[in-house]
Amino acid sequence: MHARAAHEMQGSYTRYIQQIAALIPAPRKGARILLLSDANVFFVMRLYYGDPALRVERMKVWRDHNVKTDPSGYDYVLDWVDNHFVLVSHK
């Protein structure tokens, strides 16, 4: 990967995490987070929050495997709307 592309990707992930951290400043240990859009930040979220028990799941994966899931069972539900994250619901 070229240095410029790597730098741009790092900048994107930094912006994503800043947005998510503003919406979810301190999730409880082992919280469950559902991403309605297929955002590839799930692995970065676990690293950022430093909680190996944090469960970040993507709705696309459930749909691809024909698994019905109820978003109300999650502590936080995030979506990607107009180029930024929004908090759809939380407990």
Mean pLDDT score across all residues of the chain: 88
Q: What is the pLDDT of residues 47-86, one digit of tens each?
A: 899 999 999 998 887 777 888 888 999 999 999 998 889 9
How far apart CA 32 and CA 27 sit, in angstroms, is 9
Please give the sequence-ordered ranges of beta strands (E in DSSP) within the chain, or none if there are none: 32-35, 55-58, 76-81, 84-90
CB hemisphere CA count around 34 (13 angstroms): 20
pLDDT at res. 39: 72
**In the chain, where are the structural domains located?**
3-90
**CB 80 within 8 Å of CB 70:** no
CB atoms within 10 A of CB 76: 20
The structure's pTM equals 0.83
